[in-house]
A and B are shown apart, each in its own frame.
Chain A
Amino acid sequence: ELLCCHPLPMSTFLKRHVKLYTYRACVAKDEMGKMVSVINTVDTSHEDMIHDAQMDYYGTRLATCSSDRSVKIFDVRNGGQILIADLRGHEGPVWQVAWAHPMYGNILASCSYDRKVIIWKEENGTWEKTHEHSGHDSSVNSVCWAPHDYGLILACGSSDGAISLLTYTGEGQWEVKKINNAHTIGCNAVSWAPAVVPGSLLDQPSGQKPNYIKKFASGGCDNLIKLWKEDEDGQWKEEQKLEAHSDWVRDVAWAPSIGLPTSTIASCSQDGRVFIWTCDDASGNTWSPKLLHKFNDVVWHVSWSITANILAVSGGDNKVTLWKESVDGQWVCISDVNKGQGSVSASVTEGQQNEQ
Chain B
Amino acid sequence: MKLKEVDRTAMQAWSPAQNHPIYLATGTSAQQLDATFSTNASLEIFELDLSDPSLDMKSCATFSSSHRYHKLIWGPYKMDSKGDVSGVLIAGGENGNIILYDPSKIIAGDKEVVIAQNDKHTGPVRALDVNIFQTNLVASGANESEIYIWDLNNFATPMTPGAKTQPPEDISCIAWNRQVQHILASASPSGRATVWDLRKNEPIIKVSDHSNRMHCSGLAWHPDVATQMVLASEDDRLPVVQMWDLRFASSPLRVLENHARGILAIAWSMADPELLLSCGKDAKILCSNPNTGEVLYELPTNTQWCFDIQWCPRNPAVLSAASFDGRVSVYSIMGGSTDGLRQKQVDKLSSSFGNLDPFGTGQPLPPLQIPQQAAQHSVVLPLKKPPKWVRRPVGASFSFGGKLVTFENVKVQSQQGPEQQQQQQHRVLVSQVVTEKEFLSRSDQLQQVVQSQGYIAYCQKKIDASQIEFEKNVWSFLKVNFEDDSRGKYLELLGYRKEDLGKKCIKEEKPESEFLPSARGTFNISISGDIDGLITQALLTGNFESAVDLCLHDNRMADAIILAIAGGQELLAQTQKKYFAKSQSKITRLITAVVMKNWKEIVESCDLKNWREALAAVLTYAKPDEFSALCDLLGTRLESEGDSLLQSQACLCYICAGNVEKLVACWTKAQDGSHPLSLQDLIEKVVILRKAVQLTQASDANAVGVLLAEKMSQYASLLAAQGSIAAALAFLPDNTNQPNIVQLRDRLCRAQGEPAPGHGSPKMPKGRPAPIGGHPQMPRVQTQQYYPHGENPPPPGFIMQGNINPNAAAQLPTSAGHMHSQVPAYPQPQPYQPAQQYSFGTGGSAMYRPQQPVAPPAPNAFPSTPYISSASSYSGQSQLCAAQHQASSPTSSPAAAFPPPPSSGASFQHGGPGAPPSSSAYALPPGTTGPQNGWNDPPALNRVPKKKKMPENFMPPVPITSPIMNPLGDPQSQMLQQQPSAPVPLPSQASFPQPHLPGGQPFHGIQQPLGQTGMPPSFSKPNVEGAPGAPIGNTIQHVQSLPTEKITKKPIPDEHLILKTTFEDLIQRCLSSATDPQTKRKLDDASKRLEFLYDKLREQTLSPTITSGLHNIARSIETRNYSEGLTIHTHIVSTSNFSETSAFMPVLKVVLTQANKLGV
Contact, CB under 8 Å: A305 / B431: no
**B460 contacts the other chain (CB 8 A):** no
Instruction: Count residues of A near B (Cβ-Cβ below 8 Å).
Output: 113
> In the complex the two chains form, is A45's CB within 8 Å of B426's CB?
yes
The CA of A56 and the CA of B756, in the complex, are separated in Å by 11
Which residue of chain B has the shortest Cβ distance to A135 in the bound complex? B337
A320 with B396: CB separation less than 8 A: yes
Contact A312 B428 (CB under 8 A): no
Q: A39-B431, A312-B397, A337-B404 are in contact. Are A348 and B412 (CB under 8 A)?
A: yes
Q: Are B398 and A310 in contact (CB under 8 A)?
A: yes
Known A-B contacts A161-B336, A337-B431; the reply to A50 vs B409 at CB < 8 A is yes
Q: Is the CB of A185 within 8 A of B429?
A: no
Contact B410 A345 (CB under 8 A): yes
In the complex, which residues 371-413 of chain B have their Cβ closer than 8 Å to any Cβ of chain A? 379-382, 386, 389-412
Contact B750 A300 (CB under 8 A): no
Give complex CA distance A105, B397 in Å. Answer: 22
Q: Which one of A5, A60, A62, A64 has the highest number of Cβ atoms from chain B below 10 Å of its Cβ?
A: A60
Question: Does B427 sit at the interface, judged by CB under 8 A?
Answer: yes
Q: Which of B179-187, B540-548, B1147-1155 contacts A (4 or more CB under 8 A)?
A: B179-187
Docked-complex contact A60 and B751, CB < 8 angstroms:
yes
Bound-state CA distance A53–B3 (Å) is: 34
> Of all chain B residues, which has the CB nearest A58?
B750
**Known: A184-B3, A185-B50, A337-B406. Is A356-B179 also a contact (CB below 8 A)?**
yes
B5 to chain A, nearest CB (A): 15
Segment among A19-27, A73-81, A197-205, A227-235 that sits at the interface with chain B: A73-81
Q: In the complex, are the beta carbons of B50 and A222 less than 8 A apart?
A: yes
Candidates B50, B395, B437, B780; contact of A301 at CB < 8 Å: B395
Contact A301 B396 (CB under 8 A): yes
Q: Is B224 in the interface zone, CB < 8 Å from A?
A: yes
Chain B, interface size: which category? 35 or more
- Chain B contact surface mostly: loop
Given contacts A95-B392, A102-B786, A139-B386, contact A60 B753 (CB under 8 A): yes
Q: For the complex, is B318 an interface residue (Cβ under 8 Å from A)? A: yes
Which residues does chain B contribute within 8 Å of A149, judged by CB atoms? 779
B275 within 8 Å of A (CB atoms): no
Q: Please tell me which one of the listed residues A59, A67, A310, A314 contacts residue B400 in the complex, with CB atoms under 8 A apart.
A: A59
Contacts A10-B133, A185-B318, A300-B394 given; does A92 touch B336 at CB 8 Å: no
Q: Which of A9, A102, A320 contacts B394 (CB 8 A)?
A: A320
Which residues of B (853-912) have their CB < 8 Å from a CB of A?
none
Q: Are B335 and A137 in contact (CB under 8 A)?
A: yes
A38 touching B750, Cβ below 8 Å: no
B50 contacts A221, CB within 8 Å? yes
* Pairwise interchain contact A159-B405, C-beta atoms closer than 8 A: no
Among A29-37, A211-219, A274-282, A283-291, the stretch that binds chain B is A29-37
Q: Are B405 and A55 in contact (CB under 8 A)?
A: yes
A62/B386 contact (C-beta < 8 A), A106-B785, A159-B334, A307-B721 known: no
Instruction: Determine the residue in chain B with the shortest Cβ distance to A122.
Output: B758
Answer whether residue A130 sits at the interface, using C-beta atoms and an 8 A cutoff: no
A139 touching B382 by the CB < 8 A rule?
Answer: yes
In the complex, whether B783 has a CB less than 8 A from a CB of chain A is: yes
A61-B756, A106-B785, A356-B226 are known contacts. Are A310 and B433 too (CB-CB below 8 A)? yes
Known contacts A59-B399, A59-B400, A224-B51; is-contact A75 B721 (Cβ 8 Å): no
CA–CA, A57 and B720, complex, Å: 13
CB atoms of A49 and B335 under 8 A apart: no
Residues of B close to A246: CB separation below 8 A: 20
Q: In whole angstroms, what is the CA distance A297 to B412 when docked?
A: 18
Name the CB-closest residue of B to A271: B20
Instruction: Please indicate the chain B residues that have their CB under 8 angstroms from the CB of A303 in the complex.
Output: 395-398
B432 adjacent to A186 (CB under 8 Å): no
A267–B224 CA distance with the chains assembled, in angstroms: 30
**Would you call B1082 an interface residue if the criterion is a C-beta within 8 Å of the partner chain's C-beta atoms?**
no
| Interface assignment of B198: CB less than 8 Å from any CB of chain A | yes
B339 part of interface (Cβ distance < 8 Å): yes
Shortest C-beta distance, B987 to chain A (Å), equals 38
A304 on interface, CB distance cutoff 8 Å: yes
- A138-B382, A185-B317 are contacts. A318–B394 as well, Cβ < 8 Å? yes
Knowing A46-B426, A64-B428, A224-B51 are in contact, say whether A186-B403 is a contact too (CB < 8 A).
no
Q: Decide if B402 touches A305 in the complex (CB within 8 Å).
A: yes
Q: Give A330 to B317 CA distance when docked, in angstroms.
A: 35
Give Cα distance in the complex from A344 to B411, angstroms. Answer: 9
Task: Decide yes or no whether A237 CB sits under 8 A from chain B.
Answer: no
CB pair A53 B133 closer than 8 Å:
no
Report the separation of the CA atoms of residues A41 and B428 in the bound assembly, to the nearest whole angstrom. 6
Nearest Cβ in chain B — how far from A81, in angstroms?
9
B1036 to chain A, nearest CB (A): 58
Chain B 180-208 per-residue mask, 1 if CB under 8 angstroms from chain A, else 0 = 11100000000000000011000000000
Minimal beta-carbon separation of B142 from chain A (angstroms): 21
Q: Does A208 contact B (CB under 8 A)?
A: no
Residue B36 lies at the interface, judged by CB distance under 8 Å to chain A: no
Contact of B336 among A105, A160, A327 (CB under 8 A): A160
Q: Which of B's residues lie within 8 Å of A, judged by CB?
A: 1, 3, 20, 50-53, 133-134, 137, 151, 159, 179-182, 198-199, 224-227, 314-315, 317-318, 332, 334-337, 339-340, 379-382, 386, 389-412, 416, 425-435, 437, 675, 717-718, 720-721, 747, 750-751, 753, 756-759, 779-783, 785-787
12 A-B pairs within 8 Å (CB atoms) are namely A35-B434, A43-B427, A57-B400, A57-B750, A185-B315, A246-B20, A247-B20, A301-B392, A313-B396, A314-B396, A320-B396, A337-B404
9 closest A-B pairs by CB: A55-B399, A103-B786, A160-B336, A184-B50, A58-B750, A40-B430, A246-B20, A59-B400, A105-B785
Given contacts A62-B430, A139-B335, A184-B3, 6 further A-B contacts (CB under 8 A): A5-B182, A9-B180, A113-B386, A185-B334, A301-B395, A339-B408
